[in-house]
Structure 1
Amino acid sequence: MTGFVDLNNIRLAYGGGDGTLALDGLTMAVKKGEFAAVVGPSGCGKSTLMKLATGLIRPQAGTVEVAGKEVDGPVSVAGMAFQNPSMLPWRTTLKNVMLPLEIVQPHRRRLKSEYESYVARAENLLEIVGLKGFGDKFPWQLSGGMQQRANLCRALIHDPALLMLDEPFGALDAFTREELWQVMRDLHAEKGFTVILVTHDLREAVFLADRVFVMSARPGRIIVEQEVDFPRPRPIDLTYDGGFNDIVHDLRGHIAEARAAA
């Protein structure tokens, strides 16, 4: 395996060896700077894969490596964003975005002495995602889409080399979701970090990703790797293109076959 993120022959059962087998024989490699998407039937282990790659859980068999090092605990080079933004209601948007700086080294050590530069970094991220001027607002003063934009900023404030996205746009309306696809597209182009996106939305996967990994039904493993070679930056109108929809339909077919074989 030669990726920035390597999962090699992973086996994981919840509750130990006799528990529910979530993953079995899962192998995948994501290259540095690549935008990868993971799709598959419900319950196939997509979120479990995310936890493995970030060191939140460990497999019973197989190895997980990130940036050339075997993962044996939480991965400090990773930022994470989930479907629920989980903004702290008593903190302003700016303070929510800056929260990881109070936890992750070396930023925690530098935060007090370099506070103004960190504030400038947070405000720059907020401007990039369309939230300029909203840093002093509280979460209850923001729409769901605005909270998710802030959530992306929080995941990126400590300049992670790896961004893990677990259904981050799933709870949003279709129009807002497409807006945030474009925000994510532009952030990835500007920052160059590696991304692993877990999603049920096949259009989202094909629009954003360089490669889409399809998982089998539980116990999950990778059954298809689909290259997506549309030029970047991709306009949202691409989602109406015949070639784009051919890939979406092919992926849907693979998932349907995986569900039928369960």
Structure 2
Amino acid sequence: MQPLVAIEHVDMRYGGPEGLLAVQDLTLSVAKGEFAAVVGPSGCGKSTLMKLVTGLYIPQGGSVVVAGERVTKPVSIVGMAFQNPTMLPWRTTLDNILLPLEVVQRHRGRLRAHKAEYVAKAEALLETVGLKGFGQKFPWQLSGGMQQRANLCRALIHEPDLLMLDEPFGALDSFTREELWCVIRDLHAAQGVTIVLVTHDLREAVFLADRIFVMSSRPGRVIEERKVPFARPRDLELMYEKEFNDVVHELRGSIADARKAA
């Protein structure tokens, strides 16, 4: 089966031919419907990987292929969520969620004529993430965790084939973070969307992902690929089991080794 995302021998340098080499010989693939996580030392190129897959950056060497097409421009089948929800303060939560539909080509042309259909879809997503009835609230009326829930809805409203998550829960307290782990776990199970999560939280990676890619220090490349052995669905109680913590500690050791090798 052809992977949904295929990165092969990619080099990415910032600032021209003599600039900073962010990733070198980066190779990995993600299957359709898979939940993959990317971890590694600070500055290893995790966010660069995200931008390569979405077409925000074009590599100087190697290839990035998404859904069978080589990436040469921004990819429309991708939804993205970042650590900072960056919701527009003058728009309601509902209108913030609908914003991608004004940009994505296949929805933009029919948004006005089918507004009620899209609003209903947005309301359904809000209910899924526990924000039923909050569509008319403004971002400043929501907590940080509530804004991040709405951010996930915005990333999913245009029905992307691929969801890219760049440290989306890093700024939240531990209880809210774990609640949102369960939200994204359930969204993945219900919708079958392919997810790539960049995170520094190893427990998050092990709890959510099917496979985890460990990156080296800069210039980043994949130095380890680990299949997560725990069956789905996973409950938070899993994190208190020895087998779970063994995997977390082994990953921590791999990253520590990568930092020493820098």
TM-score normalised to the size of structure 1?
A: 0.99
Once the two structures are superposed, the pairs formed by residues 88-103 of structure 1 within 5 Å of their partners are 88-103=88-103
Q: CA deviation at 1:229?
A: 2.5
Supply the distance in 2 between the matched residues of 1:211 and 1:17 (Cα, whole angstroms).
33
Q: Which amino acid aligns with 2:5?
A: V
Identical aligned residues as a percent? 70
Partner of residue 57, structure 1: 57
Once the two structures are superposed, the pairs formed by residues 1-262 of structure 1 within 5 Å of their partners are 2-262=2-262
Number of residue-to-residue matches in the alignment: 262
Supply the distance in 2 between the matched residues of 1:236 and 1:99 (Cα, whole angstroms).
33
Does the 8 Å contact 1:37/1:205 carry over to 2?
yes
Residue-by-residue CA offset, 1:88-120 (whole Å, 9 max, x unaligned): 000000000010011102111110111101000
RMSD: 0.8
Q: CA deviation at 1:241?
A: 1.0
Secondary structure at the aligned position of 1:110 is classed as coil
Residue-by-residue CA offset, 1:172-213 (whole Å, 9 max, x unaligned): 000000000000000000110110000000000000000000
Secondary structure at the aligned position of 2:147 is classed as helix
Supply the distance in 2 between the matched residues of 1:67 and 1:151 (Cα, whole angstroms).
24
Does the 8 Å contact 1:165/1:197 carry over to 2?
yes
Residue-by-residue CA offset, 1:45-89 (whole Å, 9 max, x unaligned): 000000000000111100000001100100000000000000100
Does the 8 Å contact 1:84/1:168 carry over to 2?
yes
Q: Which amino acid aligns with 1:225?
A: E
Q: Which amino acid aligns with 1:180?
A: L
Unaligned runs of 5+ in 1: none
Does the 8 Å contact 1:2/1:29 carry over to 2?
no
Secondary structure at the aligned position of 1:12 is classed as strand
Secondary structure at the aligned position of 2:105 is classed as coil
Q: Which amino acid aligns with 1:32?
A: K
Secondary structure at the aligned position of 1:98 is classed as helix
Does the 8 Å contact 1:23/1:218 carry over to 2?
yes
Secondary structure at the aligned position of 2:109 is classed as helix
Does the 8 Å contact 1:39/1:202 carry over to 2?
yes
Does the 8 Å contact 1:39/1:198 carry over to 2?
yes
Secondary structure at the aligned position of 1:18 is classed as coil
Q: CA deviation at 1:2?
A: 3.8
Residue-by-residue CA offset, 1:192-240 (whole Å, 9 max, x unaligned): 0110000000000000000000000000000000101211110011111
Q: CA deviation at 1:3?
A: 1.6
Supply the distance in 1 between the matched residues of 2:189 and 2:229 (Cα, whole angstroms).
15
